[in-house]
């Protein structure tokens, strides 16, 4: 059975005050463009600093004992951006993955990509395959990079796959747990805490299925300025909350 859906909360997700660390944090990286504009820089400069912030936050998450960090790096809608910006983002991804291959074993960071990788360049696909192969040999902290990812597209893809399996007699009754196994996130606990920096108050098609009982944290800080201290604030806010998963407060 899958480890996630609201039915099987992570260790931090028992009914009542969480107190414990979130096991899985997800982040909508936002505000790179505005950060650059404020400084009279091209938007791509904001993305480059955004990657550095991501590295800092991933390392910090690992060090404080978070098990999973899921990051929204490129959405199914981001292709609508100017060609030069898309190319710059793809270039940053290549560079990041290339460096990750060199260091992930030493850093103890596993990587998995969530999203439709088919339209990505052959070079990126190769790098992704390589990082996933290395990750298979590793244990512990895992980063999920959402690339060409959309929550609705993920649900439609899962429904199609389920329909195929149903037709071939591989599966019968559909349950929430069974359906979860068709998501990119199969085997990963639902995010306990989802952070959106930059002051935008929307979900933007991120982890629609998995976020059913996630706690949200919004901040005006732009992603390139996001720091370990900001993450601490988000975690402190999370720890004070009472997660009930539809039930009532436990005594």
Q: Which residues bind ligand FPP (CB under 6 A)?
A: 29-34, 47, 50-51, 54, 71, 73-74, 78, 89, 92-93, 96, 198
| Known active-site residue 30 | yes
Closest distance to ligand FPP from the beta carbon of 156 (Å) = 22
10 Å CB burial of residue 41 (0-12, 13-18, 19+) is: middle
Catalytic residue (choose from 17, 30, 136, 232): 30
Closest to ligand FPP by CB, 71 vs 207, is 71
Closest to ligand FPP by CB, 74 vs 182, is 74
| Known active-site residue 78 | yes
Query: By beta-carbon distance, which residue lies closest to ligand FPP?
Result: 33
Closest distance to ligand FPP from the beta carbon of 81 (Å) = 8
Residues 6+ apart with CB under 8 A from 125: 117
Closest to ligand FPP by CB, 158 vs 221, is 221
Closest distance to ligand FPP from the beta carbon of 192 (Å) = 20
Closest distance to ligand FPP from the beta carbon of 32 (Å) = 4
Task: Count the Cβ atoms, other than its own, within 10 Å of residue 192.
Answer: 28
According to DSSP, residue 16 is labeled E
By C-alpha distance, which of 216, 218, 213, 217 is closest to 243? 213
Catalytic residue (choose from 17, 63, 67, 78): 78
Q: How big is the chain, counted in residues? A: 251
Q: Which two tokens stand for residue 6?
A: 């609201």
C-alpha 101/C-alpha 127 separation (Å) is 8
Closest to ligand FPP by CB, 43 vs 243, is 43
Where residue 139 falls (left for φ over 0; alpha for ψ -120 to 50; beta otherwise) is: beta
Catalytic residues: 30, 78
């Amino acid at each position: 059975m899958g480890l996630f859906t609201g039915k099987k909360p992570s260790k931090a997700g028992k009914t009542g005050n969480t107190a414990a660390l979130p096991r899985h944090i997800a982040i909508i990286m936002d505000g790179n463009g505005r950060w650059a504009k404020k400084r009279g820089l091209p938007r791509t400069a904001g993305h480059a600093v955004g990657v550095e912030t991501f590295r800092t936050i991933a390392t910090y998450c690992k060090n404080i004992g978070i098990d999973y960090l899921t990051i929204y790096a490129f959405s199914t809608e981001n292709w609508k951006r100017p060609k030069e910006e898309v190319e710059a983002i793809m270039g940053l991804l290549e560079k990041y993955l290339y460096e990750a291959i060199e260091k992930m074993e030493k850093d103890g960071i596993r990587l998995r990509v969530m999203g439709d990788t088919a339209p990505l360049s052959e070079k990126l696909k190769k790098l992704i395959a390589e990082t996933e192969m290395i990750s298979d040999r590793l244990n512990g902290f895992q980063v999920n990079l959402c690339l060409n990812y959309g929550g609705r597209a993920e649900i439609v893809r899962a429904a199609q796959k389920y329909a195929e399996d149903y037709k071939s007699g591989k599966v019968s009754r559909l349950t929430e747990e069974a359906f979860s196994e068709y998501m990119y996130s199969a085997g990963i606990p639902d995010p306990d805490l989802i952070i959106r920096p930059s002051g935008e108050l929307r979900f933007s098609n991120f982890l629609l299925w998995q976020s059913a009982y996630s706690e949200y944290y919004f901040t005006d800080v732009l992603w390139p300025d996001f720091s370990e201290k900001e993450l601490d604030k988000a975690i402190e806010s999370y720890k004070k909350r009472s997660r009930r998963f539809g039930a009532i407060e436990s005594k």
